[in-house]
Amino acid sequence: MSTIAKALNLLDLFTPARPAIGLSDVQRLAGRDKATVHRHLVALSDAGFLEQDPATRAYRLGHALTRLAAMRAQTVPAGDMVSSLVEDISRQAGELVHLSQLRGFDLVSISHAEVHDHPVRVTFDAAGLPPLFNTSSGKVILAYSAQPFVSAAMAEHQVRSGAPLQNDAVLRDIEAVRAQGYAATRDALEQGVSSVAIPVFDAQGGVMGACSVAYPTARGHDPKEIAALLIARGPDLTARLGGIVPTAVADIWNERHAVPERRQP
Amino acid sequence: MSTIAKALNLLDLFTPARPAIGLSDVQRLAGRDKATVHRHLVALSDAGFLEQDPATRAYRLGHALTRLAAMRAQTVPAGDMVSSLVEDISRQAGELVHLSQLRGFDLVSISHAEVHDHPVRVTFDAAGLPPLFNTSSGKVILAYSAQPFVSAAMAEHQVRSGAPLQNDAVLRDIEAVRAQGYAATRDALEQGVSSVAIPVFDAQGGVMGACSVAYPTARGHDPKEIAALLIARGPDLTARLGGIVPTAVADIWNERHAVPERRQP
DNA sequence: TCCTGTCGGTTCGACATATGAACCGACGGT
DNA sequence: ACCGTCGGTTCATATGTCGAACCGACAGGA
């Protein structure tokens, strides 16, 4: 392992729960010699990747990260930031995966991945804007949106489609979605097509978009398994777009879909 | 220079104008041996600080930066991110410096630095919310805000203060501010107090707040010199808060306040 | 088709650089 | 005064880095 890797791995010790770490703690957590760790910390600090809290002398993430991340956000297309993850999910699920962002009352596509090894599959139409209702992506976005936005979206939908919505049913529906951390539909927008979606969050912890798996209902997937697949990648998806998963959602994702721990005998 | 510093310095080669760089270009720009540069690039890529464009094989900033910057934004108070810069400016100017953020129609304080070596100076009152009008911070924020916001802010101000605004004068004023890249007031909000302010921008390039220097008018500072001080730190201030200076503003700052280049004889 | 230049990437001996046990003074608790 | 721990430093050692040379692939140009 190169010196560079050793130093950069130190940055991974910093988590939301442990945002500042002293020299001795870093040494323990990294399992390396204190002198080495110290030199690495100094080098990282000199480059602006870490800084020392003037009061406690503890190290925390530095301002260079902010600058470089802003540059990346500016220059790298959003699709490229998540395409590898979207492709991973698609490969695991063996179905169409689609990540879209909320823009006004519409969903615009950021990235998608198709599969080629099934004769029957759902195909992706990049031109069409999927609606906010009757899709798993839309439901999951509404579920994590503020109430006024939901009302406005319902009004807008009625104006556009002419068809009235069962307001109560919709509200109960998204309430259930919020409680389970993902949304699933079966033959909703199109006969014979099912889908499962999880939310993606922005830097303020607000819902920004959704990542969905769509598959022919006839394939007989268990929506829970598809959801587990998505949820396993959920934190990473949000992180790569510069967002933060709200702790409430993170808790639901962990407790409901984690690999069960072995109980004490 | 440590290996770590050498590797991390490679990241500074990436700029908005040059977002992706091939191995040979990195080698030339860094002035190092190709093998060394290559190992460093690989190490940085392994840690997620760089990634390779699958098509061109060129390196660009990686997803780990996004993740770590989001963590820093979440855990480090906004004030800490800029306090050292604000203190630098205060030391250079020898006056009160104040960085505030727009929240609705109010300015809330993020960070400030006072000086202690003048018997007469402007003091900072952390409790009071400075208004959007009749302050340099407010003017510079309005100057870079969208027109509907300016109208709404003017309406709100009239409701709050009861005093009518000279709408035309205000609009001409902020137009001038936009043209010169900073705002200056003299005996505006308080008799005997002058101030100069520059805007601070968010990740989308929209104005997010302002950084101002306030001083007793009697000190006889040249507002242009104070502005030059602020403008020199402007890009860094915005960068540390995760923002992007719009190119239009960056151009004004460069052309109007840069050290003049020597003409060809 | 061959020649040439450049691309990204690799090899290996020489050697510069990172390593870690031991140590330092400061601090806080007892 | 003692003890444990803190952040940080020293120096002989050996490990990982360095860089000239090299590789195959590719793109023009003649």
* pLDDT for the residue B257: 58
Total count of residues recorded for chain B: 265
CA distance, residue A113 to nearest chain B CA (Å): 16
Instruction: Name the nucleotide with the smallest C1'–CA separation from A6.
Output: C18
Asked if the Cβ of residue B25 lies within 7 A of any atom of strand C, the reply is: yes
- DSSP labels, B104-158: TTEEEEEEEE---S-SS-----TTSPPPSSSSHHHHHHHHTS-HHHHHHHHHHHH
Q: Does B13 touch chain A (CB under 8 A)?
A: no
Confidence of residue A264 (pLDDT cuts 50, 70, 90): very low
* pLDDT for the residue A163: 75
Instruction: Name the nucleotide with the smallest C1'–CA separation from A2.
Output: D16
Which of A5, A49, A239 has its CB closest to that of B8?
A49
Please give the structure tokens belonging to residue B72: 């820093």
Residues whose CB falls within 8 Å of the CB of residue B215, separated by 6 or more in sequence, listed in order: B93, B95, B96, B121, B122, B193, B194, B195, B221, B226
Q: CA A82, CA A233: separation in Å to the nearest integer?
A: 11
B29-84 confidence digits (pLDDT tens): 998 888 899 999 999 999 999 999 888 889 999 999 999 999 999 999 899 899 99
Q: CA A241, CA A244: separation in Å to the nearest integer?
A: 9
φ and ψ at B105, to 5 degrees? -105, 15
Those nucleotides of strand C lying less than 7 Å from any protein Cβ are 6-12, 17-23
CB A44 within 8 A of CB A36: no
Q: Does A103 touch chain B (CB under 8 A)?
A: no
- Is the confidence at residue A257, as pLDDT, over 90? no
Burial class (CB in 10 A: 0-12, 13-18, 19+), A172: exposed
* pLDDT for the residue A196: 97
Q: Please work out, in degrees rounded to the nearest 5, the angle formed at the alpha carbon of residue A249 by the alpha carbons of A246 and B51.
A: 65
In order of A102, A219, B164, B172, the CA distances from B169 in angstroms are: 39, 68, 12, 5
**CA nearest A62 in B: which residue?**
B72
Query: B47 vs A74: CB contact, 8 Å cut-off?
Result: no
The residues that bridge with B163 in the sheet, in sequence order, are none
Q: How far is the CA of B34 from the C1' of D20 (A)?
A: 10
Q: CA A50, CA A63: separation in Å to the nearest integer?
A: 7
Please give the structure tokens belonging to residue A32: 């390396």
Residue A137's nearest CA partner among A81, A98, A111 is: A98
CB B143 within 8 A of CB B199: yes
* pLDDT for the residue B165: 74
Q: Does A244 touch chain B (CB under 8 A)?
A: yes
- Is the confidence at residue A154, as pLDDT, over 70? yes
What are the start-end ranges of the E strands in chain B? 20-21, 50-52, 59-61, 96-103, 106-113, 183-186, 193-201, 207-216
Query: B46 vs A5: CB contact, 8 Å cut-off?
Result: yes
* pLDDT for the residue A166: 80
* pLDDT for the residue B97: 95
A118-153 confidence digits (pLDDT tens): 777 777 776 667 788 889 999 999 999 999 999 999
- What is chain B's pLDDT, residue by residue, as a tens digit (265 residues)? 788 998 999 999 999 889 999 998 999 999 888 889 999 999 999 999 999 988 888 999 999 999 999 999 999 989 989 999 999 999 999 999 999 999 999 999 999 998 887 777 777 776 667 788 889 999 999 999 999 999 999 999 888 888 777 788 889 999 999 999 999 999 998 899 999 999 999 999 999 999 999 999 999 999 999 999 999 999 999 999 999 999 999 999 998 655 544 444 3
- Is the confidence at residue A18, as pLDDT, over 50? yes
Query: A70 vs B8: CB contact, 8 Å cut-off?
Result: no
Which of B49, B64, B73 has its CB closest to that of A66?
B73
Q: How far is the CA of B62 from the C1' of C8 (A)?
A: 19
Please give the structure tokens belonging to residue B185: 């007031």
Q: CA A77, CA A72: separation in Å to the nearest integer?
A: 9
Q: Does A71 touch chain B (CB under 8 A)?
A: yes
Residues whose CB falls within 8 Å of the CB of residue A164, separated by 6 or more in sequence, listed in order: A158
Which residues of chain B are within 8 Å of residue A81 when distances are taken between CB atoms?
A: 63, 66
Query: B242 vs A15: CB contact, 8 Å cut-off?
Result: no
φ and ψ at B57, to 5 degrees? 70, 5
* pLDDT for the residue A262: 44
* pLDDT for the residue B263: 41
Rounded mean pLDDT of chain A? Answer: 90
- Is the confidence at residue A263, as pLDDT, over 70? no
- DSSP labels, A141-188: HHHTS-HHHHHHHHHHHHHHH-PPP-HHHHHHHHHHHHHHTSEEEESS
- Which is more confidently placed, A75 or A258? A75
- Is the confidence at residue A47, as pLDDT, over 80? yes
Q: Does B3 touch chain A (CB under 8 A)?
A: yes
* pLDDT for the residue B262: 44
User: Strand, helix or coil at A216?
Assistant: strand
Q: CA A105, CA A108: separation in Å to the nearest integer?
A: 10
Confidence of residue A231 (pLDDT cuts 50, 70, 90): very high
- The secondary structure element, H or E, covering residue A11 is helix A3-11
CA distance, residue B65 to nearest chain A CA (Å): 5
Which residues of chain A are within 8 Å of residue B40 when distances are taken between CB atoms?
A: 4
Which residues of chain A are within 8 Å of residue B73 when distances are taken between CB atoms?
A: 66, 203
**Angle between helical axes of B63-75 and A223-240 (0-180°, round to 10):** 80
